[in-house]
């Protein structure tokens, strides 16, 4: 290759067939107990999009291409800054899955998500803005490298990312140069999973390092040996698989073809720097290389090689087939596994993605080369591939430090190379070391095969006990901190801190932790006492504590309250502790600037940057302070050369040059990004500049329409500089924007801004509404209710505020009547909002309204029902509940459904129910042939339902009724076949929450089938097990699984878990009693169930059947069993 060649980068629009998405829902979603990817599924302040269109249309997307002699890469900045395509030009192989259509499905945190390419998941998984635009800039390097930089400030937690996707001219790899920054004054958590998808078929294999002998599930809740699984994992028994490894029986789960169900696994531990995949058919693959000390995360995810996975393939692509995700975690080894990022801190790293070819399963890889070796008694066969051209590389084979053989040759990324070496004797592979070096003697890659498992198989993780069960205040502190760090969805850190403080009210760690949590929740004044108690304990024996964090946090709280002098004292004392020097001096610089102490502020900035040169906000503040100095222009150039996305400095350049084009284009005039810059200026008292920035945003918007929060912040800044009239005008405009504004308040600085708006006017319902939203998200429920009640008192027509009050009255106050009244008011005020109708129906379901009343309401609003899958499915369910099974089937077959990931199973359940009930009706009418037709349809799920069957699904009810139908036709052999099928399966009762859990009906129909086969003892065992389980677990204290990865329901009204458990137990008792012929007891249980839950489908249907037809044992098929 010509060493003077360069990589290229260019921007180019590209037309891609695209399925459209719905509009963002204007109703804020407060999903504080939603479980998503093993941690919190809260989406606020992001709006949810839950509609995907059925038709595709050509759409022009703005793409960025990078190319060198070996690779061509396409990046889509409008879709989360993902790599959409990465082509190895040397063999025309797409090293990552190239999805040639944009076909979103409901997989993302806030809705739409697409498969393919490489998704960069930060600060959680999946990336909250995965289907939204990011800032970007192209860069051509001095040494021929080409980069597209992507940048984003996360709306949820306000951390910042910029990453360069880079090609070098002479290398066949993609470099990701990532920088993660905490722009806030409080510690934040993050994870980073780069998520390449890879096209798969039966030839695919995931290539984990040779020391990976165990893999773990989400949260480390389960474990399997690897690559040969020998036990049960994801409810699949792998002990008797297709593949064998020596004398060990099991299944090779590194092979896609062997995994039938949706499955994640993450390497427990590895001392290698690579993970990859390989297509043994194409003889090509993908490798990820990154230092394992910062990148321990090595994961594979698949939808499963079965009907279930194929259904999701259809949701996500038209013709590009199945894929797996090879996830590569940096500063994380599991999902969830979050790392702390301190105020002002930057964490940076480089990771690499590279194709390789021809060498199959490898032993080691670096950014220079990959190598594999097979050893027999007499030979060592070595295979290697290099990522750049080398005039001469040398393969050296050694045993115990002595060279056995060596060979030299040229290499380049166009081909792989194989060398075979004779061994002088039978040498164990673990005593051989193969090394590849270049002409200068540099080691490109080396590998010594392990002699056996390097790491022991670990035990699964254990759930943290309830607060009162922990044995010490230290345990309570660590548990609470872990729950905060991992963003646990259903446990509350405050419960652990409160229990600890109950035992020792002066504990420094617990006081600091609780104060910090109150600070995060916007309770600034309340937090101060806890920080002061922490400081009092830490300074019990001397005034200079080992840990300065409580002092720093006290400074933050005082700053938020406007107590600048007190804040200054606390921050300065915190600088006595090294770990808080940078953050504290930055805060001191802000305060000094605000106080007009310019030279002090410059000194503080420099001291901050001496300790943390990557502190972007300190660099910005220093640039501002040097506006009138000779160094200003040079400082601007130097800082922007290092980071073009330091938008505060970009604004300083724009002011200095009177040229705002770069600022406007790089920020995209995104309201959140621009507001963050304005807040930075306001934080050090430069309200005039902040108002100029926000005014420019308004003037640059096409119709002068910007979110209300922009105008509220502008008004606040204008008021600070004495322009009260214009501030009043801006607030007036904010109030007129209307209820469709989806830019929800969530920044701590929003609190004072909205409070001042509420105080400055004779009522501001929009400000009260937005502040209520913020308080509710921060779990300050009484404050939220107070704000929303003020809102509707000032504007009784505000439907969204009434809707929000309904959620709060029900979930936080337990007031069903007020909740229903508020939701009915919301729907009356907004009768065209299908979301509010859905929530009204869910509330009516939750409080026990009859199915007929709910059905009438939905039937009267069919135009709204048709707009949402979930509403439409409720209509189908209600038709089943009220006996209109023909209508249910007709409705189901007229719609294409799109489930949320983790919420599968609901649509097929109604489909199967309708067909089984129609079959029973046909049987009752002495038409067994028609019954068989319905039941055979129930065994086949049509594609429009949006789901496929999981392997191992139990269909005992269908099978039992098929047996009965063939029995009625006199076909005893067929009847026996179906009764035998119905009699099999898991027979131990359990809870049933997820789509792959076993419902109790399966055991009931096993029992009926056993009775038909003459196995009355087996039948009785099953019925008695149902009764025994129901009685034994009736009074259980039920909680959501600590390790839950997802929950099947997108609930806004909290369920009563204890009541649900009791209903479930009663249903088991009822079925068991029914099977044993105890009809009166069964009927009593059914009545209790339907009294508590009139929409319980199982109780409704089984109660309505002629019980003798279900329970009459036959025993005529025993001989044929």
Per-residue model confidence (pLDDT) at position 1071: 98
Name the residue with higher pLDDT: 249 or 498.
Answer: 498
What average pLDDT score do residues 141-159 get?
A: 98
Rg (C-alpha) for the chain, rounded Å, is: 32
Q: H/E element holding 228?
A: strand 228-229
Longest C-alpha distance within the chain, in Å? 102
How far apart (Å, rounded) are the C-alpha atoms in residues 429 and 941?
Answer: 51
Cα 158 to Cα 181: distance, rounded to the nearest angstrom: 9
Q: How confident is the model at residue 1117 (pLDDT cuts 50, 70, 90)?
A: low
**Given a cut of 60, is residue 973 above it in pLDDT?**
yes
Domain 371-447: what homologous superfamily?
A: Outer membrane usher protein (2.60.40.3110)
Mean pLDDT of 1084-1098: 98
Digit-coded pLDDT (tens) for 770-787 = 999 999 999 999 999 999
Q: Span 642-660, mean pLDDT? A: 97
Q: How much of the chain, in percent, has pLDDT values that exceed 90? A: 91
What are the b/e assignments for 138-158, b being 16+ CB within 10 Å?
eeebeebbbbbbbbbbbbbbb
Confidence band of 247 (pLDDT split at 50, 70, 90): very low
Look-up: residue for tokens 């939220």? 784
Quick one: pLDDT at residue 977?
Answer: 98
Average pLDDT over residues 4-30: 96
Task: Give yes or no for a cis peptide into 123 (omega within 30° of 0).
Answer: yes
Buried b (16+ CB within 10 A) or exposed e, 356-381: bbbbbbbbbbbbbbbbbbebeeeebe
Q: Is the omega angle on the peptide bond into residue 227 within 30 degrees of 0, that is, cis?
A: yes
Residue with tokens 């009255």: 809
CA dihedral (606, 607, 611, 615) positive or negative: negative
Model-level pTM? 0.96
Chain-centroid distance, C-alpha 953: 26
User: What is the spatial distance between Cα 1075 and Cα 1060, in angstroms, rounded to a whole number?
Assistant: 23
Does 2 have pLDDT greater than 50? no
- Mean pLDDT (the chain) is 96
With cut-offs at 50, 70 and 90, classify the pLDDT of residue 1119: very low
Residue-wise burial string across 76-88, b where 16 or more C-beta atoms lie within 10 A, e elsewhere: bbbbbbbbbbbbb
> By the 8 A CB rule, do 433 and 423 touch?
no
Three-state DSSP at 388 gives: coil
String of DSSP letters for 1001-1047: HHHHHHHHHHHHTT-HHHHHHHHHHHHHHHHHTTT------TT-SB-
Spatial neighbors of 743 by CB under 8 A, at least 6 apart, are 45, 671, 672, 707, 708, 709, 710
Question: Is pLDDT of 312 > 70?
Answer: yes
Q: Which residue has the higher pLDDT, 603 or 1108?
A: 603
Residues 6+ apart with CB under 8 A from 863: none
Residue 453 has pLDDT above 90, yes or no: no
Query: What distance in Å separates the CA atoms of residue 361 and residue 310, rounded to the nearest whole number?
Result: 27
**Digit-coded pLDDT (tens) for 46-78:** 999 999 999 999 999 999 999 999 999 999 999
Q: What pLDDT does 992 receive?
A: 72
The confidence score (pLDDT) of residue 1112 equals 54
- 263-267/339-341 β-pairing: unpaired
Task: Domain ranges for the chain, please list them.
Answer: 9-355, 371-447, 950-1121
Helices (H), 658-722: 661-667, 671-683, 687-700, 708-720
Instruction: Report the CATH fold assignment for 9-355.
Output: Beta-galactosidase; Chain A, domain 5 (2.70.98)
pLDDT-above-70 percentage for the chain: 97
HEC per residue, 636-663: HHHHHHHCCCCHHHHHHHHHHHCCCHHH
pLDDT in tens, 813-834: 999 999 999 999 999 999 999 9
**868 close to 50: Cβ distance less than 8 angstroms:** yes
**Residue 1114, pLDDT score:** 53
Tens-place pLDDT, residues 350-406? 999 999 999 999 999 999 999 999 999 999 999 999 999 999 999 999 999 999 999
The confidence band for 33, taking pLDDT boundaries of 50, 70 and 90, is confident
Helix, strand, coil % over all residues of the chain, rounded to 5: 40, 20, 35
Q: What is the mean pLDDT of residues 452-465?
A: 92
Residue-level pLDDT at 1108:
52
| pLDDT reading at 248 higher than 80 | no
Distances (CA, A) of 361 to 178, 283, 554: 29, 10, 55
- 740 pLDDT band (50/70/90 cuts)? confident
Alpha carbon separation from 843 to 737, 815, 820 (Å, rounded): 29, 12, 7
Q: 36 by DSSP, 3-state: which? A: strand
Q: Residue range 432-439: average pLDDT? A: 98
């Amino acid at each position: 290759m010509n060493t003077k060649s360069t990589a290229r980068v260019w921007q180019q629009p590209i037309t891609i067939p695209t399925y459209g998405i719905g509009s963002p829902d204007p109703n804020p979603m407060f999903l504080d107990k939603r479980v998503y990817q093993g941690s919190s599924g809260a989406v606020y302040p992001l709006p949810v999009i839950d509609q995907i269109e059925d038709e595709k249309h050509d759409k022009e997307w703005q793409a960025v291409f990078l190319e060198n002699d070996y690779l061509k890469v396409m990046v889509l900045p409008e879709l989360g800054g993902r790599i959409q395509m990465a082509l190895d030009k040397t063999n025309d192989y797409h090293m990552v899955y190239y999805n040639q259509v944009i076909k979103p499905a409901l997989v993302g945190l806030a809705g739409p998500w697409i498969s393919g390419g490489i998704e960069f998941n930060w600060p959680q998984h999946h990336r909250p803005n995965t289907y939204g635009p990011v800032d970007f800039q192209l860069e051509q390097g001095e040494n021929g490298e080409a980069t597209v930089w992507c940048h984003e400030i996360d709306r949820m937690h306000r951390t910042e990312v910029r990453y360069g996707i880079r090609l070098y001219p002479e290398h066949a790899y993609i470099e990701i140069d990532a920088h993660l920054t905490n722009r806030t004054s409080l510690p934040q958590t993050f994870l980073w999973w780069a998520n390449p998808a890879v096209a798969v078929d039966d030839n695919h294999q995931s290539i984990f390092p040779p020391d990976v002998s165990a893999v773990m599930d989400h949260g480390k809740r389960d474990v399997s040996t690897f690559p040969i699984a020998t036990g049960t994992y994801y409810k699949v028994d792998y002990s008797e698989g297709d593949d064998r490894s020596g004398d060990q029986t099991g299944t090779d789960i590194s092979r896609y073809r062997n995994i039938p169900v949706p499955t994640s696994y993450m390497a427990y531990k590895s001392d290698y720097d690579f993970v990859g995949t390989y297509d043994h058919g194409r003889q090509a693959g993908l490798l990820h290389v990154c230092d394992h000390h910062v990148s321990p995360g090595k994961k594979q995810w698949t939808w499963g090689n079965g009907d279930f996975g194929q259904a999701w393939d259809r949701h996500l692509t038209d013709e590009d087939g199945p894929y797996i995700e090879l996830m590569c975690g940096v500063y994380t080894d599991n999902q969830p596994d979050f790392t702390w990022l301190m105020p002002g801190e930057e964490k940076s790293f480089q990771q690499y993605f590279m194709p390789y070819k021809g060498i199959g399963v490898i032993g080691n890889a670096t950014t220079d080369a990959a190598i594999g070796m097979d050893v027999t008694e007499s030979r060592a066969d070595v295979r290697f591939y290099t990522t750049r051209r080398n005039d001469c590389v040398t393969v050296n084979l050694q045993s115990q430090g002595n060279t056995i053989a060596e060979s030299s040759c040229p290499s380049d990324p166009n081909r792989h190379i194989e060398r075979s070496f004779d061994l002088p004797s039978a040498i164990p592979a673990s005593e051989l070391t193969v090394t590849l070096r270049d002409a200068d003697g540099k080691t490109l890659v080396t590998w010594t095969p392990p002699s056996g498992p390097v790491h022991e198989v670990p035990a699964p993780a254990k759930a943290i006990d309830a607060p009162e069960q922990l044995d010490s205040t230290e345990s309570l502190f660590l548990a609470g901190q872990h729950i905060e760090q991992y963003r646990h969805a259903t446990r509350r850190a405050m419960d652990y801190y409160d229990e600890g403080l109950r035992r020792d009210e002066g504990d420094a760690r617990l006081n600091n932790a609780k104060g910090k949590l109150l600070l995060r929740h916007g309770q600034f004044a309340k937090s101060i006492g806890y920080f002061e108690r922490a400081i009092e304990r830490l300074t019990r024996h001397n005034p200079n504590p080992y840990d300065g964090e409580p002092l720093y946090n006290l400074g933050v709280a005082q700053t938020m309250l406007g107590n600048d002098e007190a804040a200054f004292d606390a921050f300065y004392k915190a600088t006595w502790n090294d770990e808080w020097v940078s953050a504290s001096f930055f805060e001191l610089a802000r305060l000094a600037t605000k106080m007009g102490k310019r030279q002090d502020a410059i000194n503080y900035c420099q001291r901050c940057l001496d300790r943390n040169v990557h502190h972007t906000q300190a660099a910005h503040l220093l640039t501002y302070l040097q506006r009138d100095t000779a160094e200003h222009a040079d400082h601007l150039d130097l800082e922007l050369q290092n980071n073009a996305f330091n938008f505060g400095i970009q604004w300083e350049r724009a002011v200095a040059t009177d040229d705002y084009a770069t600022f406007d284009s790089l920020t995209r005039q995104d309201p959140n990004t621009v507001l963050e810059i304005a807040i930075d200026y306001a934080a050090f008292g430069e309200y005039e500049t902040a108002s100029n920035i926000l005014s420019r945003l308004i003037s640059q918007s096409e119709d002068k329409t910007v979110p209300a929060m922009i105008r509220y912040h502008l008004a606040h800044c204008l008021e600070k500089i004495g322009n009260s009239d214009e501030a009043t005008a801006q607030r007036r405009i904010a109030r007129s924007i209307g209820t469709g504004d989806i830019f929800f308040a969530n920044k701590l600085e929003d609190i004072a801004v909205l409070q001042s708006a509420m105080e400055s006017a004779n009522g501001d319902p929009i400000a009260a509404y937005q502040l209520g939203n913020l308080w509710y998200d921060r779990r300050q429920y009484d404050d939220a209710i107070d704000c929303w009640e003020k809102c509707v008192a000032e504007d009784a027509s505000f439907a969204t505020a009434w809707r929000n009050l309904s959620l709060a009255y029900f979930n936080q106050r337990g007031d069903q009547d007020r909740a229903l009244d508020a939701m009915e008011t919301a729907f009356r005020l907004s009768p065209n909002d299908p979301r509010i109708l859905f929530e009204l129906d869910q509330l009516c379901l939750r409080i026990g309204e009859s199915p007929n009343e709910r059905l009438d309401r939905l039937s009267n609003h069919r135009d709204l029902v048709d707009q949402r899958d979930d509403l439409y499915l409720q209509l189908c369910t209600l038709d089943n509940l009220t006996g209109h099974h023909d209508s249910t089937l007709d409705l189901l077959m007229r719609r294409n459904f799109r489930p949320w990931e983790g919420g599968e199973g609901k649509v097929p359940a109604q489909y199967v129910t309708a067909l089984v009930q129609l079959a029973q009706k046909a049987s009752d009418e002495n038409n067994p042939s028609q019954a068989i037709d319905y039941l055979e349809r129930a065994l086949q799920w049509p594609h429009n339902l949006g789901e496929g069957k999981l392997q191992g699904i139990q269909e005992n009810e269908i099978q039992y009724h098929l047996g009965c139908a063939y029995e009625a036709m006199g076909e005893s052999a067929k009847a026996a076949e179906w009764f035998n099928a119905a009699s099999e399966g898991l027979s131990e009762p359990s809870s049933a929450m997820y789509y792959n859990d076993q419902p109790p009906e399966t055991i009931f129909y096993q029992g009926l089938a056993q009775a038909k086969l003459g196995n009355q003892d087996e039948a009785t065992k099953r019925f008695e097990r149902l009764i025994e389980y129901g009685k034994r677990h009736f009074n259980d204290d039920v909680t959501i699984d600590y390790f839950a990865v997802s929950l099947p329901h997108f609930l806004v009204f909290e369920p009563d878990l204890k009541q649900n458990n009791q209903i479930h137990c009663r249903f088991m008792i009822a079925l068991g009693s029914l099977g044993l012929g105890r009809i009166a007891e069964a009927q009593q249980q059914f009545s209790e169930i339907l009294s508590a839950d009139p929409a319980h489908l199982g109780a409704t249907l089984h109660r309505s059947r002629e019980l003798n037809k279900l329970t009459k044992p036959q025993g005529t098929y025993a001989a044929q069993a």
